[in-house]
Amino acid sequence: MARPTPQTHGDILAAAARRFAVTGYRGTSLQDIASEVGCSKAAVLYHFANKEAILTELMAPAIAVLQSLDDRISAQPDPASAQRVAAEGFVDLAVRFRREIALLRGEFPELLQQPVFAHIHAISERLIDAMAGRSERASARICALVLLAGIAETCGEFAEVPDEELRDALLALLRRALEPVH
């Protein structure tokens, strides 16, 4: 019985997302994706230049929201409002894109080294700065980084928790954990 061939870009993206979730980005080959879809590797390469292009397209919506959050944070006139916008915005992003975050669990630092994602590192640094209340103190920056990483990990882990419940729990945690900014 012949397997169906991919009809759209979306079929390949969906298959890639499933494979990345099972074996990770590094552990997934273009042949794995082709096999998942039921086509040849050449068919995958017809739609995408390489595996990085697939990941880039899968992550594009989340990256666009992250860039928008970065713009909103940059527009804040004081540390307290920057911290509030960063906290609420990152929680909203992490909850909304928890499936995409889960795909990259354990591989995010390495993926940031790829040229296509280089700008994400700078945004991450600004997000940490805002979450730390623009403080240079190591304790504030450590807290911010641990919270951001924990939020991302939690959203990937608790996929079955309804969005609002997860959002409320994460924001309550942030309110308790972050140092007040004056």
What pLDDT is recorded for position 182?
65
What pLDDT is recorded for position 7?
67
What pLDDT is recorded for position 104?
74
Alpha-carbon dihedral sign for residues 154, 24, 11, 36 = negative
Q: What is the pTM of this model?
A: 0.85
Work out the burial of residue 31: count CB atoms within 10 Å of its CB; fewer than 13 is exposed, 13-18 middle, 19 or more buried: exposed
63 vs 36, 121, 158, CA distance in Å? 26, 12, 21
What pLDDT is recorded for position 2?
47
Mean pLDDT by 10 residues, the chain (182 residues): 61 92 89 93 93 91 95 97 97 92 75 79 93 94 94 87 96 89 70
Q: How far apart are CA 117 and CA 69, in angstroms?
A: 16
